[in-house]
Structure 1
């Protein structure tokens, strides 16, 4: 029963990590044009989604560790190892991709389209990393 509860928490944290990023595509498009307010509302939503993903990621990693400890899988399982490798890449990418670009956008006087494009591309890359990890967790491929 405990395994099922932790698994449910793990799945909810995956949804909380991936789902909110979908709304960032239209927001990044809106950021291409700077309005008088500096698009502060859009920037705040963007930052909140990134923050939510970070916190959901903490729950995701914690529940994943517990699932490996109490479940039938070991740390030497290929899909777990690949997920951890991609997780490390996504954490590095998350730290470098969003906050510096959002800060740059706030400080810019011109060139908003390039920064907005950069933010949108970062969302695509991060979503791809998350979906690859999700595939490993769902498909559980035997690689070695």
Structure 2
């Protein structure tokens, strides 16, 4: 059982890295989106969409492995840091669904200001990274908040 728990923990940590890491490559990409046109812009948008897709699917592994860790480990569902992490997780899911795809679609519309859209994407990336880092803090520190 101890070995299985460690494997699940490793999978959980790896999925956190895959969920957070790729978002940092988006900052230079967003700068390039401001001036890109045609095929270059489509390539950058495809990369951006791939990062969002990767984070989404790594998030599925993250949630599944987290559930298995709670079920097989010493923690319970009413543990404060788990509850707060779940609340932030649900907020980040709604944010991820609304923050990127609609803005990325607007880049292909005529007359759209790329600077405004790029600023919106950059702000969304920072907010999403902040949400992920807050969840990461709760999972690592496991603060004693109530009981």
Class of the TM-score when normalised by the shorter of the 2 chains = over 0.9
Alignment TM-score, normalising by the size of structure 1:
0.97
Consecutive unaligned residues of structure 2, counting only runs of 5 or more, are none
Length, aligned pairs only: 144
Consecutive unaligned residues of structure 1, counting only runs of 5 or more, are none
What's the CA shift for 1:38?
A: 5.8
For each residue in 1:105-129, what CA deviation from the matched residue of structure 2 results, as whole angstroms up to 9, or x when unmatched?
A: 1224331100011001100000000
Q: Does 1:91 align with 2:93?
A: yes
Following TM superposition, the consecutive aligned residue runs of length 4 or more in structure 1 with deviations greater than 4 angstroms are: none
Call closer, same or farther: CA 1:79–1:108 in 2, change over 3 Å: farther
Residue of structure 1 equivalent to 2:68: 66
RMSD value over aligned CA atoms?
A: 1.0
Alignment TM-score, normalising by the size of structure 2:
0.95
Residue of structure 2 equivalent to 1:104: 106
Partners of 1:38 and 1:21 lie apart in 2 by 20
For each residue in 1:83-134, what CA deviation from the matched residue of structure 2 results, as whole angstroms up to 9, or x when unmatched?
A: 0000010000000000010011122433110001100110000000000000
Partners of 2:46 and 2:33 lie apart in 1 by 12
Per the alignment, in what secondary structure is the counterpart of residue 39 of structure 1?
helix
User: Contact 2:106–2:112 (CA<8 Å) still a contact in 1?
Assistant: no
Partners of 2:141 and 2:72 lie apart in 1 by 20
In the TM superposition, 1:1-144 aligns within 5 A as 1-37=3-39, 39-144=41-146
